[in-house]
Amino acid sequence: MTFRTRIFLAAFITTALSLTVSTVLVSSELRRGFRADIEHTLMQHARLAAELLSDRTTVTDPESEAQQLGQHIDARVTFIDATGQVLGDSDVTRDRLPGVENHNARPEVIDARAGGSGTATRPSNTTGVETTYAAVAVRNSPVSIVRVALPLTVVDERVRGIQQLAAVGLGMALVIAAGLAWGISILLSGRLRRIADTAGRYARGDVSRPSFEYGQDEIGTVARVLDTSVRELGKRLEEMTSERAQLAGILTGMFEGVVLVDQDRRLVLTNDAARQMLQLPADAIGRAYKDVMVDPDVMSMLSSALTGQPTAPREIRLEHSPNGAFIANVVRVEHTPSGGAVLVLHDITELRKLDRIRRDFVANVSHELRTPLTAVRGYVEALMEAPPPDDADRRRFLEIIARHTLRMERLVRDLLRLARLDAGQELLERTPVPIEHVLSDVETEMSDALDHKRQRIVHAITDDAEVVNADPAKLHDVLRNLIENAINYGPEDSEIEVCASRANGATTITVADRGPGIPTSDLPRVFERFYRVDRSRTRDPGGTGLGLAIVRHLVELHDGTVSAARRDGGGTIVTITLR
Ligand code: ADP
């Protein structure tokens, strides 16, 4: 049933009921009033008749007197003697009088005899019709009681007439009430519908103000209160949404993995980094962390935090990153209804790697310096020993000292260079450089070594690669380092091939020798500082183990790449690409 129908029915039924009840009450009151009036009138008539009859020693023709009186007052008049015998009755013919029963037992007659007057309303024994009687005692007369009676059919007729009128009135009133109730229900339901439409609009996110007024009554007040609440909630929702967006942005941008679990041990929130580190499935949110995580360390930390035990940050390993190192910290979430714990995973793999590189580097530098220093000290002591060595030995010792000193000098020079490159202190000054010029400079510098091993540099440079846009000094150092390695590791009487070509906007230069080559497993590592394929073999050529590391730095300064490979038919080929 619609609200409008309900309002209509409520208003209509209330009005109809009250109208009907008041009509019924009024008509019954009318009936009672009429009866009281009739009783009063009858009593007056009875008293008048009694007055007329009193003090009359004889009443010669009571039948006709009763008839006449009855006609005058338009009511039934009965004369009763002291024995209760009916002497005359306006409604009973003379011949039937003897048959009328004794009236002494009639209640109104009993009352009249006892107190002078009496009334009663009951069905007439004679006519059977509901009748009102008024009896009055007569003084000093053969007629002891005069009784006046009127059948109530008259009253009923009058009351019925009024009831018919009231029914017509009631019918008209009900039609008007129905119209009014309908109008009120349409007005009310219309307002409520507009308020409901506005609420629906708010629910869909459009919180612009409605164009109509809510009104000043109770409905209007309720609507206004709800309106204010909705606006307030909308504002809070907006704030929460923007806070959530900010939080999501922060979490997405974080390198640290963040996982939030609630008191029921279910995942509430994770960021990309955490999903990646813990390899969480896509549907992890809402599931118990024990079902989606495999890392015992993480789970035990979460469990401790959730059970209120103190947890300290600690370094852990993750199943999905066996080579990685992570610091995990779990904090209990206080002051929220749902409680829970936040896990933060910090990836320190790179830090650990850098730390290891630093420690290795320091150890390597110490080691590389200690060897020549020990040699130098040994030979200096030998020179100072008595008896002093002969001239030939002294010369040999001094040559060894000079060689080791040179080695240390080179080492320190290369270390300083790397330090400058690390610190970004070497700037790139690009200019068009003819590769052939650089090559011939290097060849001249290395001519002694080349001659010593009877090696030659042959080069093949394509036309488009003749000039490269690079820093000439740095390109020189790159090629010098590579050619030096090729001389050192290449066999005697061999050729060192240098090729240059251009493709896809980059110049590729290769330096190849016919030496022993670099084992495949060592190829990616030869560019690391101090990495040597075979320490015992490579110590002698006098390298520092830093040459290729410097080469890589210089090439990368040019936005280029460098790689080493094994050469078909034996040997090493180092390729650099400059952009
Ligand atoms: P080094 O000063 O020892 O030559 P590099 O950094 O230049 O140091 O080279 C690193 C290591 O790579 C060398 O010790 C050597 O084992 C290997 N290597 C470099 N170039 C060659 C090459 N042309 N042939 C064979 N091995 C090479």
CATH of the domain at 372: 1.10.287.130
Final residue of a structural domain among 347, 375, 397 = 347
Find the mean pLDDT for residues 425-451: 94
- The secondary element (H helix, E strand) that includes residue 52 is helix 3-53
Mean pLDDT of 459-464: 93
**How many alpha carbons fall within 13 Å on the CB side of residue 485?**
29
Residues in contact with ligand 1 (CB, 6 Å cut-off) = 485-486, 489, 513, 515-516, 518, 526, 531-533, 538, 543-549, 572
Contact 280, 293 (CB under 8 A): yes
CA distance 350 to 369: 28
The answer to the question of residue 194 being in a domain is: no
Q: Verify that 127 and 268 share a domain, yes or no.
A: no
Q: How far is CA 64 from CA 68, 121, 148, 166, 259, in A?
A: 6, 26, 15, 43, 121
Residues 436, 398, single domain; the answer is no
Both 118 and 7 in one domain: the answer is yes
Alpha-carbon distance of 443 to 449, in angstroms, equals 10
**Lowest-confidence region among 123-137, 151-165, 362-376, 483-497:** 151-165
- Mean pLDDT, the chain, integer: 89
Contact 104, 96 (CB under 8 A): no
Token pair in block for residue 130: 């509901």
Distance of alpha carbon 482 from alpha carbon 489, whole angstroms: 10
Whether the predicted pLDDT of 367 surpasses 80: yes
Pair (11, 153) in one structural domain:
yes
User: Between these two residues, 226 and 558, which has the higher pLDDT value?
Assistant: 558
The answer to whether residues 59 and 122 belong to one domain is yes
Which residue puts its alpha carbon closest to atom 12 of ligand 1? 526
Please tell me whether residues 12 and 152 are part of one structural domain: yes
pLDDT on residue 554? 96
Q: 360 and 470 in one domain?
A: no
Average pLDDT over residues 290-316: 91
CA of 480 to the centre of ligand 1 (A): 13
Is the pLDDT score of 437 beyond 90? Answer: yes
Q: What pLDDT does residue 234 have?
A: 83
Residue 81 · residue 87 · CB < 8 Å? yes
Mean pLDDT value across residues 520-529? 90
Distance CA 335, CA 533 (A): 60
From the CA of 545, how far away is ligand 1's center (Å)? 7
- Work out which ligand 1 atom sits closest to the CA atom of 543: 2
How far does residue 98's CA lie from ligand 1's centre (Å)? 165
Last residue of a domain, one of 384, 402, 422: 422
Local confidence band at 450 (pLDDT 50, 70, 90 cut-offs): very high
CATH of the domain at 263: 3.30.450.20
Considering the domain architecture, whether residues 382 and 436 belong to the same structural domain is answered as: no
Please, which contacts does 40-46 make with residues 24 or more away whose CB atoms are closer than 8 Å?
A: 42/75, 42/119, 42/132, 42/133, 42/134, 42/148, 42/149, 42/150, 43/117, 43/119, 43/134, 43/136, 43/148, 45/73, 45/75, 45/134, 45/148, 46/117, 46/134, 46/135, 46/136, 46/146, 46/147, 46/148
Q: Name the DSSP class of 285.
A: T
Which of 518, 534, 535 best tests ligand 1's pocket when mutated (most atoms within 8 Å of CB)?
Answer: 518
Residue 454 is part of which domain span? 431-578
Is residue 415 included in any domain, yes or no?
yes
Section 487-507 average pLDDT? 93
Do both 495 and 454 map to the same domain?
yes
Asked if residue 140 and residue 50 are part of one domain, the reply reads yes
| Percentage of the chain exceeding pLDDT 70 | 98
120 sits in which H/E element: strand 117-123
- Per residue in 142-183, pLDDT (tens digit) is 999 999 999 888 777 877 888 888 888 888 988 888 898 888
% residues pLDDT > 90 (the chain)? 55
Q: Tell me, yes or no, whether 170 lies in a domain.
A: no
Task: Give Cα 53 distance to the centre of its chain.
Answer: 104
In a domain, 380, yes or no: yes
Q: Residue 461: which CATH number?
A: 3.30.565.10
The answer as to whether 481 is a domain residue is yes
> Up-side HSE of residue 158: CA atoms within 13 Å toward CB?
14
Q: How many angstroms separate the CA atoms of 82 and 400, rounded? A: 180
H or E stretch including 53?
helix 3-53
b/e per residue 309-330 (b: at least 16 CB within 10 A): eebeeeebebeebeebbbebbb
532 alpha carbon – ligand 1 mean position (Å)? 6
* Residue 114: inside a domain: yes
Total number of domains constituting the chain: 4
Specify the ligand 1 atom closest to the Cα of 546: 6
Q: What is the pLDDT of residues 186-230, one digit of tens each?
A: 888 888 888 888 888 888 878 788 888 888 888 888 888 888 888
Distance 526 CA to ligand 1 centre (A): 7
For residue 528, give every residue at least 6 positions away whose Cβ sits within 8 Å of its Cβ, in sequence order, or none. 549
Distance CA 245, CA 226 (A): 28
CA–CA separation, 77 vs 86, rounded Å? 11
Six token digits for residue 370: 């200690």
Q: pLDDT grade, residue 538 (50/70/90)? A: very low
Mean pLDDT, range 345-367, rounded to an integer: 90
Same domain, 447 and 332: no
State both tokens at 121.
């309303």
Residue with tokens 């930390």: 301
Q: pTM value? A: 0.54
Which atom, in ligand 1's list, is nearest to the CA of 533?
16
Domain limit, last residue, from 121, 137, 157:
157
Q: What is the predicted pLDDT for the residue at 536?
A: 57
pLDDT reported for residue 321: 86
Ligand 1 pocket mutation, candidates 538, 552, 553, 567, criterion most atoms within 8 A of CB? 538
Inside any domain, residue 31: yes
Query: Quick one: which atom of ligand 1 is closest to the CA of 550?
Result: 6
Q: Does a structural domain hold residue 518?
A: yes
pLDDT score at 301: 93
Residues 79 and 145 in one domain: yes
CA 481 to ligand 1: nearest atom: 7
**Nearest protein Cα to ligand 1, atom 26:** 518
Mean pLDDT of 230-251: 89
State in Å: Cα 74 to ligand 1 middle: 153
* Per-residue model confidence (pLDDT) at position 542: 64
